[in-house]
């Protein structure tokens, strides 16, 4: 997707590792925290020994296939899509848990791939993650105190015991666990799922990061407590200025709290824009289908359900042209030959569909 940034400052200076000092003094430019350009994350397909000898070319799973988007500072951007679309891989690549095989990630104008090892360590602190399953995301043998204090310990950020305890207590309270002292010496299995997820959030907040990647943070929780976690994310955005990358398969949840939505399909972003705009005025057939099938608590609502047939194809065998064309209800002749590029619909709302006019 087109970005609002000009050429990033670092690239203009020429090649060379970016050091810690530079990273420390970097600022958010034009309100954009992350500028991702043509990001590619491919995984090699595992082949049997014999096949790998006789195969002529390596097959790749194109989990994330040249996507470009920006993340504004202090916003909640939702990455929405079904399983296998690459949204989780994207989030993890931003954190450094997966390796990018192509493209560039710019953080505050500096290219992440060119950080020195020291700068990479510092950078990793600024981007934290909350996992989906609070039952497994924290070590069951550690106390809550240990879990939340671990990031501080591991990054040598505290000088004394008292300092550590203060920061842990503050993080727990910001995550809504009050009074924090009651929770410090408990074990995860003594807490409910919602409380555990709050502990995970506290563990992410304690480093005071710029961005938190939330990977399906409420999927494992009861419906009646989801809102607490979602409200927490919004509160952090507003009061602490934390940017959230909200990864979810549930478009209606994304609609509730995010500022912008990016819809992904099979490794590509098919539509991106402000939430209300995208949901009220979807342009891509996939987005339209998704919105039409989402169930709502209203039995009297009568609307067309565009139920797509078949399932998402295997990312190792991506269809030619527009990768959505085999299932698209509005498919045309040219869709199987040409891959669409992003077309501006209105303002910051973009969609990648040949019907809107974009052609490679």
Binding to another protein by residue 355, rule CB under 8 A?
no
Binding to another protein by residue 221, rule CB under 8 A?
yes
CB of 236 to another protein, least distance (A): 15
Interatomic CA distance for residues 274 and 76, integer angstroms:
10
Interatomic CA distance for residues 154 and 314, integer angstroms:
39
CB of 38 to another protein, least distance (A): 24
Nearer to another protein, 27 or 160 (CB): 160
Which 72-101 positions form the footprint of another protein (CB under 8 A)? 82-83, 95-97
Binding to another protein by residue 295, rule CB under 8 A?
yes
Interatomic CA distance for residues 231 and 194, integer angstroms:
13
Torsion angles phi and psi, residue 255, rounded to 5: -60, -35
Binding to another protein by residue 289, rule CB under 8 A?
yes
Q: For residue 93, give the 3-state DSSP assignment.
A: helix
Tell me which residue of 342, 322, 176 sits closest to 272, measured CA to CA: 342
Nearer to another protein, 37 or 210 (CB): 210
Angle formed at CA 311 by CA 36 and CA 55, multiple of 5 degrees:
75
Nearer to another protein, 32 or 168 (CB): 168
Read off the tokens for 351. Answer: 């969609």
Binding to another protein by residue 180, rule CB under 8 A?
no
Residue from 17, 276, 336, 357 in contact with another protein (CB under 8 A): 276
Binding to another protein by residue 46, rule CB under 8 A?
no
Angle formed at CA 350 by CA 277 and CA 337, multiple of 5 degrees:
135
CB of 69 to another protein, least distance (A): 22
Residue from 18, 253, 266, 270 in contact with another protein (CB under 8 A): 253
Interatomic CA distance for residues 76 and 346, integer angstroms:
20
Read off the tokens for 17. Answer: 């590792």
Binding to another protein by residue 287, rule CB under 8 A?
no
Which 297-316 positions form the footprint of another protein (CB under 8 A)? 297-301, 303-312
């Amino acid at each position: 997707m087109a970005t609002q940034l000009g050429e990033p400052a670092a690239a203009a200076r020429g090649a060379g590792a970016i050091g810690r000092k530079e990273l420390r003094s970097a600022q958010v430019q034009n309100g954009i925290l992350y500028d991702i350009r043509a990001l590619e994350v491919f995984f090699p397909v595992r082949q049997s020994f014999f096949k790998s000898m006789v195969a002529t070319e390596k097959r790749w799973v194109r989990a994330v296939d040249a996507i470009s988007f920006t993340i504004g500072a202090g916003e909640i951007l939702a990455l929405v899509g079904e399983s296998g679309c690459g949204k989780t891989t994207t989030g993890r690549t931003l954190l450094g848990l997966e390796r990018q095989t192509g493209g560039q990630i710019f953080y505050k104008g500096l290219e992440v791939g060119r950080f020195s090892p020291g700068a990479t360590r510092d950078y990793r602190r600024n981007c934290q993650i909350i996992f989906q399953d609070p039952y497994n995301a924290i070590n069951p043998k550690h106390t809550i105190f240990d879990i939340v204090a671990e990031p501080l310990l591991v990054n040598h950020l505290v000088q004394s015991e008292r300092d550590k305890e203060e920061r842990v207590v503050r993080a727990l309270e910001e995550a809504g666990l009050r009074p924090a002292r009651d929770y410090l010496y408990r074990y995860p299995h003594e807490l409910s799922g919602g409380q555990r997820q709050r502990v995970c959030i506290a563990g992410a907040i304690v480093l005071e990061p710029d961005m938190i990647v939330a990977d399906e943070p409420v999927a494992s929780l009861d419906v009646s407590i989801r809102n607490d976690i979602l409200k927490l994310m919004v509160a952090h955005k507003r009061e602490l200025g934390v940017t959230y990358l909200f990864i979810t398969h549930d478009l209606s949840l994304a609609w509730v709290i995010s500022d912008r939505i990016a819809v992904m399909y099979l490794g590509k972003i098919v539509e991106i824009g402000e939430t209300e705009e995208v949901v009220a005025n979807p342009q891509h057939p996939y987005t339209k289908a998704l919105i039409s099938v989402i169930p709502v608590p209203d039995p009297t609502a009568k609307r067309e359900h565009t139920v797509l047939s078949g399932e998402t194809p295997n990312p190792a065998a991506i269809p030619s042209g527009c990768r959505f064309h085999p299932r698209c209800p509005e498919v045309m002749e040219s869709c199987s030959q040409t891959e669409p590029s992003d077309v501006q619909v209105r303002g910051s709302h973009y969609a990648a569909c040949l019907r809107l006019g974009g052609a490679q």
